[in-house]
Chains A and B, each alone.
Chain A
Amino acid sequence: MQIQELVLHKAEEYLASGKVDRVLAWKKGETFYDNSPAIFTKDNLNGFVYNEFCAPNLSKYLVNESKKEGKILVFLKPCDTYSFNQLVSEHRIDREKIVVIGLECQGMLDEKKIYNLGFKRIEKVEDGLDNIIITADGQQVQIKREELLSVKCVDCKSKEFAVADETIVVNEMKQPDKNSRFSVVSELEKMTEEERFKFWQNELSKCIRCNACRNVCPACTCTHCVFDNNKSGIAGKANSDSFEEKLYHIIRAYHVAGRCTDCGECSRVCPESIPLHLINRKFIKDINDNYGEFQAGKTVSEHNPLVDYTKGDCEPKEMVGK
């Protein structure tokens, strides 16, 4: 694919010129979908990949990487750029040491959805923009792209780059309707309290406390997480209830409230497919409704309606949403 070559070429160009010392991108894994974040250097660009299975948001890796010597180049999809800005706002990454290249993204694919189509042996998955061409079990099938989108891409929040020193965009990216992602939250809001509780009890009870959601979350960058810190008094609390996981997830949602950019990584990595992003998205919707539209990470700014007081803030009795 054309874009893959352009991206690789860009990495090579920056490394060769010495403008950066390292490149943070994705590396091909054993299977067609298994691309994971990796650091590349001038001498080692083996396995470099950019395709429809590069869902991991690379921003969080910069917390450690930007502390190291030298400059680093990072490739960010539009939605990843918001996490990047948020981390710069929180002084977690050093913007000066980073070159940001924004990449075209037509929405990443979910391998689980492909497997759910019933193929036994998948040979090849090709991206045809609108359609995905799957070669499997000796036949070729075309499936509409939107049917295979990763959970984090189904309700894409934006195709605009919040930050980028350069961009690589070959095909036009269609800007999504900015409010469509909240319709799924509205559905939850329409439920009765009991229905909603049941819904979440059912979902959260699947949680195996693997901590993947926390570990991948770009808003979870604490030096010591409260859940790992016995002194915090929370670590034990999260386990002390028969419906134990709710506390863990609710505490986590509160910790990232106002800072979550809705990148959807939590739901993507959840091995139990819990729609964790919906808890955060509910918070985002409430912030929008109560304090005016706010997108964390849209700009580098310490502003966050939940920690800022303005005279225009609504009074508690005016709060919308229950």
Chain B
Amino acid sequence: MQRIGVFICHCGTNIAATVNVEKVTEALRKEPCVVFADNYQYMCSENGQQLIKNKIKEYNLTGIVVCACSPRMHEGTFRKTAEAAGLNPYMVEIANIREQCSWIHKDIDEATEKAVILGRTAIAKLTLNTPLTAGETGVTKRALVIGGGIAGIQCALDIADAGYEVDIVEKRPTIGGRMSQLDKTFPTLDCSACILTPKMVDCAQSEKIKLFTYSEVEEVKGFVGNFKVKIKKKARYVDETKCTGCGVCMANCPSKKGLNAFNMNLNTRPAIYIPFAQAIPNVAVIDPEQCIKLKTGKCGLCQMKCGVGAIDYTQKDEYVDREYGAIVVATGFKPIDLTNFNEYGYADNKDVITSLELERLMNAAGPTKGVLLRPSDNEHPKVITFIQCVGSRDVSGCGKPYCSKICCMYTAKHAMLIREKYPDTEVHVFYIDVRTPGKNYDEFYRRAVEQYGVDYIKGMVGKVYNENGKLMVQGSNLLDNTQVVIPSDLVVLATAIEPDPSVRDIASKLTISIDTNNFLTEAHAKLKPVECATAGVFLAGVCQGPKDVPETVSQASAAASKVIGLLAKDKLKGNPCVAHSDEMMCTGCSQCARVCPYGAITYEDKTFGRGANATVRRVAVVNPAVCQGCGACTVTCPSGAMDLHGFSSSQILKEIDFICKK
């Protein structure tokens, strides 16, 4: 028979204002096995914890129930408290009477009744608890960063700086990511390449950093501290160890019609190419879809011209197996597809462009060598109209419901740069709101308006249409309640951003949860912004939510510090609340292994009985170090052979019984 103590927290007025804690205490005191019950203003405070410790000793308690906030907040706290008083930490149950009770009810009687039920249920579960001990596993002292944009680069540099090995896997032929495509960066207007390329070079030169460019994560196995990752190195058809990046191959390639993705398809590139001058590694890559030699077997010019014999048409995809202790996901973003936005005429007019395309048009290394020429006729545009929130803050279903966060600032930047460089150009900006929180951000925007005379129009654009060679931008000016039509030479759409599509695949391989907009979900919106629910996996950059370069870099460093904290440990304590199979019940049907997201279940043929009665049966075996205790196997198992320590089926059924009990 257990001796249970019940501790009810007021959480100031968070709980006590809606739940009559005295009544709850009285009611729970009468429950079976309960030998002590009391309430206190802040159970998580030092005094509150001391109360628990004292009562554990005084009443010789075998387990405690704390009626307080969500276990996500303080389960760990109270487990430590119990442990300090000599109890097994898994003899602690939390009844969540805050988030699941006081915060969502208004009526005191109702809330009090529910708090009693929740407390009673936790007590019922605790009567079936058994002490659990966590196992230990080692840690592979190396990290993997998926994505080689500014987030991945910063994260890898920080981890390497702490003395740990780190690999970057980047699907494109070079690291650098979206930031390498930008011309200038707000709010200081320094040249993006000037601040990014030194970091790229640092990555290449660091002894601790290994770059896998033009590579993808093929398979992930294992668990925190012990991930086993298969990396697919796509065939470049160029020997990385030989290529010097001289560019002779590019100059001689006869197939020059490939769209240049780095320049947002605004110009073309040869079939063999280096994405941009500062690419890391500075190694050519052949586009197999475009290469004449690879498609028809005839040509081979680049091979003939290559001075170091780096071209290898027979190269195949290669697979590399690596082990890691931690993984950072930094897969970045892309501008959304604009097919749903016919009203802006993006598909029909060459001179309706996205902001990222404008970046390339203004960049000295871009298709126009930095001279702002409009795509249709290479003329200087005299009137440029920007449209903000294209696809952002859009609840119509065409776009994204969220604010892409970076567009107000980069549009102000574009407007200002154009007015600076071409003072005779007229610049209009249509906006819903201008959002500029951030250090020196609002000052930046005001400069665009006040100093550079950019015409900001509060209102949405209804349509963009072509009339006699002019792009007519028809919108409303909400401040003076008029309809405006602005004949423009160039229209720039501040296009919403969304997570790079590769993130879905990565998320399923790493079992990271993903929200309705494909952003990865952090473990806690406020207190665990770079962790995620899968232990040992961290998030950095836009894959987690829209953010600009400064924020991305901060988050990348935060993720790095979490990785370093993990890799610094020699042993990791596991979670003892894992699945286990009762081999006497198991029929070996294999369903549990199929639903296990972690690959924790294997099967073995086991002999039962002796002599003439011996039978061999196939039974499931759980690797407790890999199991994360999700419980998917326990609900799939038809025989009831699979069960979870700490959350056994009988405990859950008992909880349900006590919730339903009248």
Whether A4 is near chain B, meaning CB under 8 Å from some CB there, is no
Whether A46 is near chain B, meaning CB under 8 Å from some CB there, is no
- Which chain B residues border A211 with CB–CB below 8 Å? none
Instruction: Tell whether, in the assembled complex, residue B639 and residue A302 are in contact, meaning their CB atoms are under 8 Å apart.
Output: no
Binds B, one of A118-126, A180-188, A218-226, A273-281: A218-226
Whether B277 is near chain A, meaning CB under 8 Å from some CB there, is no
Instruction: Tell whether, in the assembled complex, residue B595 and residue A222 are in contact, meaning their CB atoms are under 8 Å apart.
Output: no
Whether B586 is near chain A, meaning CB under 8 Å from some CB there, is yes
Whether B508 is near chain A, meaning CB under 8 Å from some CB there, is yes
Distance in angstroms from A183 CB to nearest chain B CB is 29
Instruction: Tell whether, in the assembled complex, residue A223 and residue B589 are in contact, meaning their CB atoms are under 8 Å apart.
Output: no
- Which chain A residues border B585 with CB–CB below 8 Å? 222-224, 229
Q: A302 to B601: give the CA distance in the assembly, Å.
A: 15
Distance in angstroms from A301 CB to nearest chain B CB is 11
Instruction: Tell whether, in the assembled complex, residue B640 and residue A229 are in contact, meaning their CB atoms are under 8 Å apart.
Output: yes
Instruction: Tell whether, in the assembled complex, residue B504 and residue A226 are in contact, meaning their CB atoms are under 8 Å apart.
Output: no
Instruction: Tell whether, in the assembled complex, residue B587 and residue A307 are in contact, meaning their CB atoms are under 8 Å apart.
Output: no
Whether B466 is near chain A, meaning CB under 8 Å from some CB there, is no
Q: A91 to B605: give the CA distance in the assembly, Å.
A: 11
Of A89, A223, A229, A233, which one neighbours B587 at CB under 8 angstroms?
A223
Q: Considering only CB atoms, which chain B residue lies closest to A240 in the complex?
A: B657
Q: A211 to B587: give the CA distance in the assembly, Å.
A: 20
| Number of A interface residues in the complex (CB < 8 A) | 25
- Which chain B residues border A231 with CB–CB below 8 Å? 640, 650
Chain A 84-100 interface mask (CB, 8 Å, partner B; 1/0): 00000111100000000
Chain A 220-245 interface mask (CB, 8 Å, partner B; 1/0): 01111110010111100100000000
Chain A 291-322 interface mask (CB, 8 Å, partner B; 1/0): 00000000000101001110100000000000
Instruction: Tell whether, in the assembled complex, residue A232 and residue B590 are in contact, meaning their CB atoms are under 8 Å apart.
Output: no
Distance in angstroms from B615 CB to nearest chain A CB is 6
Known: A232-B640, A304-B594. A90 touches B586 (CB 8 A): no
Chain B 577-597 interface mask (CB, 8 Å, partner A; 1/0): 000000011111111001101
Q: A232 to B638: give the CA distance in the assembly, Å.
A: 11
Q: A309 to B594: give the CA distance in the assembly, Å.
A: 9
Whether A19 is near chain B, meaning CB under 8 Å from some CB there, is no
Known: A304-B594, A307-B591. A91 touches B639 (CB 8 A): no
Known: A222-B639, A224-B639, A233-B649. A302 touches B590 (CB 8 A): yes
Of B584, B589, B595, B640, which one neighbours A90 at CB under 8 angstroms?
B589
Whether A144 is near chain B, meaning CB under 8 Å from some CB there, is no
Chain A 156-192 interface mask (CB, 8 Å, partner B; 1/0): 0000000000000000000000000000000000000
Q: A224 to B640: give the CA distance in the assembly, Å.
A: 9
- Which chain A residues border B29 with CB–CB below 8 Å? none
Q: A311 to B615: give the CA distance in the assembly, Å.
A: 40
Known: A92-B587, A224-B584. A233 touches B653 (CB 8 A): yes
Whether B50 is near chain A, meaning CB under 8 Å from some CB there, is no
Of B586, B594, B649, which one neighbours A232 at CB under 8 angstroms?
B649
- Which chain A residues border B597 with CB–CB below 8 Å? 309
Distance in angstroms from B593 CB to nearest chain A CB is 8
- Which chain B residues border A67 with CB–CB below 8 Å? 615
Q: Specify the main secondary structure of chain A where it touches its partner.
A: loop
Category for how many chain B residues contact A:
20 to 34
Whether B617 is near chain A, meaning CB under 8 Å from some CB there, is yes
Distance in angstroms from A182 CB to nearest chain B CB is 24
- Which chain A residues border B617 with CB–CB below 8 Å? 223
- Which chain B residues border A90 with CB–CB below 8 Å? 587-591
Instruction: Tell whether, in the assembled complex, residue A302 and residue B587 are in contact, meaning their CB atoms are under 8 Å apart.
Output: no
Within 8 A of B (CB), among A87-146: 89-92
Instruction: Tell whether, in the assembled complex, residue B653 and residue A237 are in contact, meaning their CB atoms are under 8 Å apart.
Output: yes
Whether A255 is near chain B, meaning CB under 8 Å from some CB there, is yes
Q: A224 to B649: give the CA distance in the assembly, Å.
A: 16
Distance in angstroms from B354 CB to nearest chain A CB is 28
Within 8 A of B (CB), among A68-91: 89-91
- Which chain B residues border A304 with CB–CB below 8 Å? 591, 594
Whether B618 is near chain A, meaning CB under 8 Å from some CB there, is yes
Instruction: Tell whether, in the assembled complex, residue B638 and residue A311 are in contact, meaning their CB atoms are under 8 Å apart.
Output: no
Whether B88 is near chain A, meaning CB under 8 Å from some CB there, is no
Q: A123 to B509: give the CA distance in the assembly, Å.
A: 67
Q: Considering only CB atoms, which chain B residue lies closest to A310 in the complex?
A: B508
- Which chain B residues border A91 with CB–CB below 8 Å? 588-590, 603, 618
Q: A255 to B635: give the CA distance in the assembly, Å.
A: 10
Q: Considering only CB atoms, which chain A residue lies closest to B632 in the complex?
A: A307
Instruction: Tell whether, in the assembled complex, residue A223 and residue B590 are in contact, meaning their CB atoms are under 8 Å apart.
Output: no
Known: A90-B589, A224-B585. A233 touches B650 (CB 8 A): yes
Instruction: Tell whether, in the assembled complex, residue B638 and residue A222 are in contact, meaning their CB atoms are under 8 Å apart.
Output: yes
Q: A101 to B654: give the CA distance in the assembly, Å.
A: 49
Whether B623 is near chain A, meaning CB under 8 Å from some CB there, is no
Q: By CB atoms of chain A within 10 A, which of B588, B589, B618 has the most?
A: B589
Whether B14 is near chain A, meaning CB under 8 Å from some CB there, is no
Of B505, B636, B639, which one neighbours A223 at CB under 8 angstroms?
B639
- Which chain B residues border A225 with CB–CB below 8 Å? 639
Distance in angstroms from B597 CB to nearest chain A CB is 8
Known: A233-B649, A307-B636. A223 touches B594 (CB 8 A): no
- Which chain A residues border B595 with CB–CB below 8 Å? 307, 309
Q: A90 to B618: give the CA distance in the assembly, Å.
A: 10
Q: By CB atoms of chain A within 10 A, which of B508, B617, B618, B639 has the most?
A: B639
Of A226, A302, A307, which one neighbours B640 at CB under 8 angstroms?
A226
Q: Considering only CB atoms, which chain A residue lies closest to B638 in the complex?
A: A255
Within 8 A of A (CB), among B609-636: 615, 617-618, 636
- Which chain A residues border B587 with CB–CB below 8 Å? 90, 92, 221-223
Distance in angstroms from A60 CB to nearest chain B CB is 13
- Which chain B residues border A256 with CB–CB below 8 Å? 638
Q: A194 to B639: give the CA distance in the assembly, Å.
A: 32
Q: Considering only CB atoms, which chain B residue lies closest to A232 in the complex?
A: B640
Distance in angstroms from B422 CB to nearest chain A CB is 47
Q: A233 to B639: give the CA distance in the assembly, Å.
A: 12
Distance in angstroms from A114 CB to nearest chain B CB is 36
Q: A276 to B615: give the CA distance in the assembly, Å.
A: 34
Q: By CB atoms of chain A within 10 A, which of B584, B591, B615, B653 has the most?
A: B591
Distance in angstroms from A237 CB to nearest chain B CB is 7
Q: A309 to B509: give the CA distance in the assembly, Å.
A: 12
Q: Considering only CB atoms, which chain B residue lies closest to A252 in the complex?
A: B638
Instruction: Tell whether, in the assembled complex, residue B638 and residue A226 are in contact, meaning their CB atoms are under 8 Å apart.
Output: yes
- Which chain A residues border B649 with CB–CB below 8 Å? 232-233
Q: A256 to B638: give the CA distance in the assembly, Å.
A: 8
Distance in angstroms from B515 CB to nearest chain A CB is 13
Distance in angstroms from A59 CB to nearest chain B CB is 15
Of B588, B636, B639, which one neighbours A226 at CB under 8 angstroms?
B639
- Which 5 A-B pairs rank lowest in CB-CB distance, beginning with the nearest? A222-B639, A255-B638, A90-B589, A307-B594, A232-B640
What are 6 A-B interface contacts by the 8 Å CB criterion?
A: A92-B589, A224-B585, A233-B653, A234-B640, A311-B505, A311-B508
Measuring CB to CB, which residues of chain A are less than 8 angstroms from any residue of chain B?
67, 89-92, 221-226, 229, 231-234, 237, 255-256, 302, 304, 307-309, 311
Known: A92-B588, A307-B594; 15 extra A-B contacts, CB below 8 A, are: A67-B615, A90-B588, A91-B588, A92-B589, A225-B639, A229-B585, A229-B640, A231-B640, A233-B649, A234-B640, A255-B638, A304-B591, A307-B595, A311-B504, A311-B508
